[in-house]
Amino acid sequence: MGTYLNPGNKGFQEILQSEYVDKTGLIALVNRTVGTMEKLTCISRPRRFGKSYAAKMLCAYYDCSCDSHVLFDDKEIARKPGYQEHLNQYHIINIDVTSFLSQAQRKGVPLKDVPNMIADAVQAELGELYPECVRDTLMDSLIRCVDRTGRRFVFIIDEWDALIREAKEDSAAQKRYLNLLREWFKNNNFTPQVVAAAYMTGILPIKKDGSQSAISDFIEYPILDPDGFAEFTGFTEREVRRLCEKYGMNFEDARKWYDGYDFPEVGAIYNPYSVMLAMRKKRFDSYWQKTSAAESLMTYINMDFEGLQETVSRLIFGEEIEVDTECFENDFETFGSRDDVLTLLIHLGYLTWHREDGTARIPNEEVRCEFRKILKGRNVNRKWMELIGRSQKLLEDTIAGNAEAVAKAIEEIRSTQYAPTFYNDEQALRYVIKFAYIAAIDQYLKVEELPSGKGIADVVYLPKPKSLLPALVVELKWNKSSEGAIGQIKGRNYPAVLKDYSGEIVIVGINYDAKEKEHSCLIERA
């Protein structure tokens, strides 16, 4: 057994020795492609969504240097057609591209030499395991190995696009790397004879401009359209329910924190990395954001495309946004519009995509925590700093009961680019109010519309636990009066929805007079 050639099943054994959610059904999807024209599979997913676990599982299943019956006989794959036919029947070439990048950085090796490092490492192990097969080039050696052993190769490449991302300024490194992939997967004298199947993972899909034509024969399953691989993108709701029952954790809390990646074929999908940490630590928290997945959110949000900051603000307080994903260039560099940035955030897992209606939203509380950090960050651009400062002042004036200042502040927000183009009904007023109080998202535990006994309070803000801030209940009117709004709050007993809340409540009535084109406000304490 080697590291890159026929690594065996030790990696998957370690996974099984901890809590394991059976995802071996994925193998059946790959089995269907073995030896066919569809044998090249490329999966793109956000970081921390189980790509490396899947790679280790596939190595253990296909590797001919070990016997993995004991690992799989009681798993889902054992009940699928073709289980015995493909189990431990192939040579494996297993490449984690990030490990080679780390080696190159540690040794001071230029990125353009990384492709040779990969080829040399496989050739060296081939010489150790099958010395009679070694020839001058890796290609010839692999052909010889197939001829001598009667077994073809399954290529498993984790984070295939890591070198492309890391060498974004180094065209020589990219060219050499793509040439290596072309030799393996787009070579009529090599690929049909040597490659039984390939399973490649990355963060972004293959570029559409043809620059990555070396792998254009791969069939892609991106996060935008995972097709049959959807249920293997993360944990399903059924799987998370079972974990919560086993660990004595509240399922509704798990749903709030980690749900949100929805696919029509399978429904809700949960972030597996964070779910498992929550189970082990017995605490729901934001775990994914503490990884490298969260490293560049502010960089993208601060890009100065028209309407981008406004769009992110709407996302932060829970709206769904239409996004055109078609023009995205599938890289971290080429951005031409707001939609390009939002599409990248979908691929990175910061947003979830609803293919049917073409909309995106922040998926769950874990990711929302990362967006909230924007409101407190020092690196936000000037427009956002002004907006957040104005919102914070509005919140202070509301709590202080300064109704005139609140009405004036809302009028100022109404006059900015963040307001709806058509300010002609109560829904438009609701949008402006929620936007105006955006600073409350950081200081209040929940910002939501809540039902009362006789209706719906327009906007209710609940302070975080142990906070000294009062709760806010806001009622909106259009062409009526702020006094009428206050009366409606009292008449419908809206504060009763806060029956489990023991602190102070501030009730706020806001009206917009379309004829006079002005806002009025009345504030009382309940």
In a domain, 3, yes or no: no
Is there a single domain that holds both residue 194 and residue 238?
no
In a domain, 486, yes or no: yes
Is there a single domain that holds both residue 367 and residue 401?
no
Residues 355-399: tens digit of each pLDDT: 888 999 999 988 888 887 766 665 566 666 777 788 888 889 999
Provide the CB-side half-sphere exposure for 470 (13 A, CA): 20
What pLDDT is stored for residue 193 in this prediction? 95
Q: Which of 266, 285, 304 is the last residue of a domain?
A: 285
Residue 24 maps to which CATH number?
Answer: 3.40.50
Q: Which residues constitute the domain of residue 75? A: 10-222
Report how far residue 301's alpha carbon sits from residue 374's, in angstroms, rounded to the nearest whole number.
Answer: 9
Burial class (CB in 10 A: 0-12, 13-18, 19+), 117: middle
Residues 204-225: tens digit of each pLDDT: 888 876 778 888 899 999 999 9
What pLDDT is stored for residue 454 in this prediction? 45
Q: Which of 222, 254, 270 is the last residue of a domain?
A: 222
Residue 53 DSSP class: H
Report how far residue 468's alpha carbon sits from residue 503's, in angstroms, rounded to the nearest whole number.
Answer: 8
Phi, psi of 521 (to 5 degrees): -145, 145
Is there a single domain that holds both residue 153 and residue 48?
yes
Residues 413-465: tens digit of each pLDDT: 777 655 555 555 666 677 777 777 777 777 787 666 655 444 455 788 888 87
Q: Which residues contact 432 (CB under 8 A, 6 or more apart)?
A: 410, 413, 414, 419, 420, 423
Q: Tell me the pLDDT of the chain averaged across its residues.
A: 86
Over residues 176-186, mean pLDDT: 94
The CA-based dihedral angle spanning residues 393, 397, 400, 405, taken in that order and rounded to the nearest 10 degrees: 150
What pLDDT is stored for residue 453 in this prediction? 44
Residues 13-65: tens digit of each pLDDT: 999 998 999 999 999 999 999 999 999 999 999 888 888 899 999 999 999 99
Other CB atoms within 10 A of residue 373 CB:
15
Show the tokens assigned to 159. 């984070």
Show the tokens assigned to 435. 């936007």
Geometric angle at alpha carbon 202, from 196 and 207, rounded to 5°: 95
| Among 470, 397, 384, CA closest to 435 | 384
Is there a single domain that holds both residue 135 and residue 32?
yes
What pLDDT is stored for residue 324 in this prediction? 92
Q: Which residues contact 319 (CB under 8 A, 6 or more apart)?
A: 361
What pLDDT is stored for residue 448 in this prediction? 62
In a domain, 2, yes or no: no
Structural contact between residues 321 and 361, judged by C-beta atoms closer than 8 angstroms: yes
* Dihedral class, residue 176 (left if φ above 0, else alpha if ψ from -120 to 50, else beta): alpha
* Dihedral class, residue 459 (left if φ above 0, else alpha if ψ from -120 to 50, else beta): beta
Amino acid at 415: S
Q: Classify strands 91-96 and 471-478 as parallel, antiparallel or unpaired.
A: unpaired
| Among 368, 204, 374, 364, CA closest to 297 | 374
Report how far residue 32's alpha carbon sits from residue 304's, in angstroms, rounded to the nearest whole number.
Answer: 46
Is there a single domain that holds both residue 83 and residue 216?
yes
Show the tokens assigned to 131. 């010395």
In percent, the amount of the chain with pLDDT more than 70 equals 90
Residue 462 maps to which CATH number?
Answer: 3.40.1350
CA dist 289 → 48, 109, 148, 365, 366 (Å): 10, 31, 49, 11, 7
In a domain, 256, yes or no: yes
Where is pLDDT greater, at 82 or 319?
82
In a domain, 5, yes or no: no
The DSSP bridge partners found for residue 507 are: 473, 524
What pLDDT is stored for residue 377 in this prediction? 62
pLDDT at 142 over 50: yes
In a domain, 312, yes or no: yes
In percent, the amount of the chain with pLDDT more than 90 equals 52
What pLDDT is stored for residue 495 in this prediction? 67
Report how far residue 49's alpha carbon sits from residue 251's, in angstroms, rounded to the nearest whole number.
Answer: 20
Structural contact between residues 260 and 364, judged by C-beta atoms closer than 8 angstroms: yes
Q: Which residues contact 167 (CB under 8 A, 6 or more apart)?
A: 111, 112, 173, 174, 177
Is there a single domain that holds both residue 50 and residue 18?
yes
Structural contact between residues 180 and 115, judged by C-beta atoms closer than 8 angstroms: yes
Report how far residue 142's alpha carbon sits from residue 148's, in angstroms, rounded to the nearest whole number.
Answer: 10
pLDDT at 146 over 90: yes
Report how far residue 371's alpha carbon sits from residue 366's, in angstroms, rounded to the nearest whole number.
Answer: 9
Over residues 156-180, mean pLDDT: 91
pLDDT at 328 over 90: no
- Looking at the chain, the number of H-run helices and the number of E-run strands are 23, 16
Is there a single domain that holds both residue 127 and residue 82?
yes
pLDDT at 290 over 80: no
Burial class (CB in 10 A: 0-12, 13-18, 19+), 252: exposed
Report how far residue 87's alpha carbon sits from residue 460's, in angstroms, rounded to the nearest whole number.
Answer: 57
**Domain count within the chain:** 4
In a domain, 45, yes or no: yes
| Among 428, 518, 439, CA closest to 476 | 428
Greatest alpha-carbon pair distance for the chain in Å reads 91
Is there a single domain that holds both residue 412 and residue 499?
yes
Is there a single domain that holds both residue 300 and residue 281?
no
pLDDT at 293 over 60: no
In a domain, 303, yes or no: yes
Point out the least confidently predicted range of 93-107, 396-410, 438-452.
438-452
Residue 330 maps to which CATH number?
Answer: 1.10.10
pLDDT at 292 over 70: no
Size of the chain in residues: 526
Question: pLDDT band for position 167 (50/70/90)?
Answer: confident
Is there a single domain that holds both residue 204 and residue 260?
no
Question: pLDDT band for position 475 (50/70/90)?
Answer: confident
Is there a single domain that holds both residue 353 and residue 406?
no
H/E segment holding residue 44: strand 40-44
Amino acid at 473: V
In the numeric block, the tokens 């995205």 are attached to 328
What pLDDT is stored for residue 457 in this prediction? 54
Q: Which of 376, 396, 413 is the last residue of a domain?
A: 376
Report how far residue 194's alpha carbon sits from residue 175's, in angstroms, rounded to the nearest whole number.
Answer: 23
Phi, psi of 389 (to 5 degrees): -65, -40
Is there a single domain that holds both residue 355 and residue 410?
no
Show the tokens assigned to 394. 């509005």
